[in-house]
Amino acid sequence: MEILTGTGQSIAKPLACEGSTLFLRKFMIDRRQFISATAAAATASLWAQANEWGGPVLDIHLHLRPDGESNLAHTNGSGVTKAVLLTRVQSVDQSKALAEKHPGRFVWFVSADLQKPESPVLLTKAVKDGALGLGEIKNQVECDGPEMKRMYALAADLNVPIQIHFGDVPQASGNAVFNGGFKRFDAMLKAFPRTKFIAHADTFWANVSADYAYDTAYPSGPIKPGGISDKWLSDYPNLWADMSANSCNNFLNRDPDFTAGFLIRHQNKLMFGCDCPCSDGRGGGTTNPSPRLHGKCIARETLAAAQRMSKPEVFRKIRWENAAKLLGLTSQA
Ligand SMILES: [Zn+2]
Ligand SMILES: [Zn+2]
């Protein structure tokens, strides 16, 4: 997450449409038939989500909102089929309940405070309980320090990806450095070849450009080819990229000519995510304060940019296939 999540007032549309209730009243069908009609309505809703972006969309970066239904409001509103709920270990029950209540719409990752000695045990339990990944991992530690090395080994042992927020440059006054030392991260990619790393946030996307000066979280202007993020995506089969938040949206819009080639080059490694604070998947409620994204939904802005800049077969991988494969999801549901 790059900014605080909004209050998340729910304006969710119900998945089971009125049509199924009318159908029940009119024909007095039995319960089994009603369940079938409800499932059909849910399938119709999934199909509607899938059509908006030309097919299904998997959002790998939706922070769990305390009001359960507002998670569905954002997912429906942005045209997303299924979202990964990023869940603190204390809130695992909420994500499990949401995933059960809305079949096919949610899976979840888990995170914990890495400086607490009990965290590895809690994370292991959560993965055994259904978490598909460790994330978002965002702590004030070094990316090659002992706490993170323990997590990389744990992710490999549990055979789940680990999603990391790289923030070497504080975003605003008072904000901190998270998983610092990105320049040295290739040593981790080498040292943990069985670990599936998902890189996210400012420092990763700023370093697509070879001239990044670590003077701002969101650099602008043309990209100088040869940046370490670009190179490492090519060099290391265990590195994937999370396209969420202002950081990737900023990257996508800096230098469209460069970006088109980047999307082709790494078409099997890029995965859509939103990290959007808006309430409804349409830019309502609290939104990102940057002038480019204020009043807008980051999910919509990033999906539209990726769709505009890539061929349909590449966009299909970005919006669904790459993440589905990495998470072992075999179908849309
Ligand atoms: Zn983040
Ligand atoms: Zn949004």
pLDDT in tens, 30-54: 444 444 555 555 655 555 555 799 9
User: In which residue are the tokens 């040295």 written?
Assistant: 184
pLDDT tens-digit readout, 203-258: 999 999 999 999 999 999 999 999 999 999 999 999 999 999 999 999 999 999 99
Q: What local confidence, expressed as pLDDT, does residue 171 receive?
A: 81
pLDDT of residue 121: 97
Percentage, residues of the chain above pLDDT 90: 80
Looking at all shown ligands, the one closest to residue 245's CA atom is 1
| First CA to last CA distance, the chain | 26
Q: In sequence order, what are the residues at sequence separation of 6 or more whose Cβ sits closer than 8 angstroms to the Cβ of residue 4? A: 277, 286
Biggest CA pair distance of the chain? 69
In whole angstroms, give the CA distance from residue 160 to residue 132. 6
Nearest ligand to the CA atom of 71: 2
Among all bound ligands, the one having the nearest atom to the CA of 296 is 2
pLDDT of residue 22: 29
Centre of ligand 1 from the C-alpha of residue 165, in Å: 5
Q: Which residues contact 200 (CB under 8 A, 6 or more apart)?
A: 61, 136, 163, 164, 165, 166, 241, 242, 244, 245, 247, 273, 275
Q: Are 274 and 302 contacting, i.e. CB atoms less than 8 angstroms apart?
A: yes
Give the residue with greater pLDDT, 89 vs 170. 89
Q: What is the pLDDT of residue 51?
A: 79
Task: Give the DSSP H or E segment for 33.
Answer: helix 31-52
The answer on pLDDT for 17 being more than 60 is: no
* Cβ < 5 A residues, ion ligand 2: 276, 278, 297, 299
**Ligand that lies nearest to the alpha carbon of residue 4, given by its number in the listed order:** 1
Q: d(Cα 133, Cα 319) in Å, to the nearest integer? A: 18
Specify the long-range contacts of residues 44-53, CB closer than 8 Å, at least 24 apart: 44/17, 45/15, 45/17, 45/76, 46/81, 46/104, 46/105, 46/332, 46/333, 49/75, 49/76, 49/79, 49/80, 49/81, 50/81, 50/332, 52/79, 53/79, 53/303, 53/307, 53/315, 53/319
pLDDT band at 172 (very low <50, low <70, confident <90, very high): confident
Q: How far is the CA of 78 from the centre of ligand 2 (A)?
A: 7
Measured from the alpha carbon of residue 279, the closest ligand is 2
E strand segments, the chain: 58-63, 82-88, 106-111, 134-137, 162-165, 197-200, 239-242, 270-271
272 CA to centre of ligand 2 in angstroms:
13
Q: What is the pLDDT of residues 94-145, one digit of tens each?
A: 999 999 999 999 999 999 999 899 999 999 999 999 999 999 999 999 999 9
Angle between the N-to-C axes of helices 146-158 and 119-128, in degrees from 0 to 180, rounded to the nearest 10: 20
Average pLDDT, the chain: 88
Q: Does residue 123 contact residue 134 with C-beta atoms inside 8 Å?
A: yes
Using one digit for the tens of pLDDT, what is the confidence trace for 261-299?
999 999 999 999 999 999 999 999 999 999 999 999 999
Distance from the alpha carbon of residue 183 to the mean position of ligand 2, in angstroms: 31
* Residue 289 Rama label (left phi>0; alpha psi -120 to 50; beta): alpha
Torsion of CA 189, 195, 198, 199, to 10 degrees: -20
Inform me whether the pLDDT recorded for 315 exceeds 80: yes
Q: What are the distances in angstroms from CA 298 to CA 11, 62, 66, 112?
A: 18, 11, 20, 25
Confidence band for 18, pLDDT divided at 50, 70 and 90: very low
Query: Minimal CA–CA distance to 9: which of 70, 76, 83, 95?
Result: 70
Give the pLDDT score at 31: 41
- Mean pLDDT, residues 63-72 taken together: 95
Residue where the block lists tokens 């809305």: 102
Checking if the pLDDT of 76 tops 50, the result is yes
pLDDT value for 28: 34
111 CA from centroid of ligand 1 (Å): 12
